[in-house]
Amino acid sequence: MSEKRQFFGTDGVRAVANRHPMTPEFVLRLGQAAAAVLGSRTEGGDRPRCIIGRDTRASGEMLESALIAGLNSAGVDVVLAGMVPTPAVAMLAAQTGANFGVVVSASHNPFEDNGIKFVHGNGRKLSDKTEIAIEKIVLGNTEEATRPEGRGIGRVSRMADSVERYVAHAVASMGGLRLDGMRVALDNAHGAASYTSALALEQLGADVQVFHSEPDGFNINEECGCTHSEELERLVRQSQAQAGIAHDGDADRIALCDEEAIALDGDELMAIAAESMLRKGTLKQNTLAVTIMSNYGLDDLVSRLGGRVIRTNVGDRYVLEEMHSRGLNLGGEQSGHIIFGDWATTGDGLIAGLQVLKIMKETGEPLSHLRKCLKKFPQAARNLRVRSKPPITELADAQKIIKETEKKLGDYGRVLLRYSGTESLIRLLIEGRDVEYLEAQADKIASAILAQIG
């Protein structure tokens, strides 16, 4: 059985700032451990180098300082990129030949939380195995590198043009196409995108109406950003924009809204991109990578166009691993982590938004029309309260009905059954083409489950 990670979750280490494990003491140790695993000296004997970026939360200053102390004490030179999106750190690490990059951010969480996430020097996220190796050193379960002294101690410098470099990279992803005459409502969630997204859109000629872009350290994600699609819909109506874009705190995610002020989810964005890329012949291996949460309407659309969809566990890192191992250039999550692999090594809210605006320009079609390419399969869902959580394979009567249902649905539907990680609930989702059949089967499976563990 594979080892479990103790501190790392699906996207780095995250907790309330100044509460374990997000304390300066722990972050200092985390920096030293990361240096031992990710930072090796060059052949010329130069000290390893790391790029650090952060979002706009007040606690970022404290945690960044602790991280610097940990890295410097382990002999790593630190280059501070300032307040920039997570994908900017990934891009800058790869562009400058750094050994690794670190982001101080808690993404879409409220301002009280903060987190640390790492990327390799090539801009890719760490594997579970690498994160476990770092944890072992933090916990003192393994030897760490000796601490340098004198000239071996790491130094700190600042990158003056980090924003400009990232914006130039995003603009280049448009291949020379401009957005003149397009009005875009932009919700920056008072996060890291406050310094980057409007600049890129303005350079491309768009008429940008900017909202929620006055970070004060405490207002990040507050009633705004990509987890508040109702606010983006309101902003699109207010500014009469042709499209709305919203980010989360570190801008690795995106929510889009059409000109009729109706938000799109990640599945719809991937459908629009996959259809465009399949028609142009630019979708590598004709394959789209998504998680098990994505709607089966995507499989239907992509297979009709001669492509295929592969699925991974929940978490953009698993999508990224699959994309890397198979050489794919499009993947993502329903939640809005969309990865355009030709331009990004991680979810990138700005690049994802620009690629969809580019398709609008190329086709002359509004978003409300483009989104119609995805015919979502109907779903029947049940959240059932349970008194115990035996292995799902032991729910004999329910399993029998599930097998019958899966056989009937064939390639055009599925049954998902999983326990909640935080509550005494089991979640059932059935997806297919016939609503009445789905509802009837959901009731049958639910009854069988409740008879056994309800």
CB atoms under 10 Å from CB of 139, counted, come to 12
Residue corresponding to tokens 């610097």: 68
- The answer to whether 248 is a known ligand-binding residue is yes
Does residue 267 contact residue 294 with C-beta atoms inside 8 Å? yes
Q: What span, in angstroms and rounded, lies between the C-alpha atoms of 218 and 296?
A: 39
Closest CA to 252 of 357, 342, 344: 344
- The answer to whether 250 is a known ligand-binding residue is yes
- The answer to whether 107 is a known ligand-binding residue is yes
Spatial CB neighbours of 145, under 8 Å, sequence gap ≥ 6: 35, 36, 74, 75
* Amino acid residing at 400: K
Instruction: Point out the catalytic residue in the list 2, 65, 73, 107.
Output: 107
- The answer to whether 187 is a known ligand-binding residue is no
Question: 3-state SS of the chain?
Answer: CCCCCCCEECCEEEEECCCCCCCHHHHHHHHHHHHHHHCCCCCCCCCCEEEEEECCCCHHHHHHHHHHHHHHHCCCEEEEEEECCHHHHHHHHHHHCCCEEEEECCCCCCCCEEEEEEEECCCCECCHHHHHHHHHHHCCCCCCCCCCCHHHCCCEEECCCHHHHHHHHHHHCCCCCCCCCCEEEEECCCCHHHHCHHHHHHHCCCEEEEECCCCCCCCCCCCCCCCCHHHHHHHHHHHCCCEEEEECCCCCCEEEECCCCCEECHHHHHHHHHHHHHHHCCCHHHEEEEECCCCCHHHHHHHHCCCEEEEECCCHHHHHHHHHHHCCCEEECCCCCEEECCCCCCCCHHHHHHHHHHHHHHHCCCHHHHHHHCCCCCEEEEEEECCCCCCHHHCHHHHHHHHHHHHHHCCCCEEEEEECCCCCEEEEEEECCCHHHHHHHHHHHHHHHHHHHC
Q: What span, in angstroms and rounded, lies between the C-alpha atoms of 111 and 229?
A: 19
Asked about 107 being catalytic, the answer comes back as: yes
Spatial CB neighbours of 284, under 8 Å, sequence gap ≥ 6: 327, 328, 329, 330, 341
Residues tagged in the binding site annotation: 107, 248, 250, 252
Residues tagged in the binding site annotation for Mg(2+): 107, 248, 250, 252
**Residues assigned a catalytic role:** 107
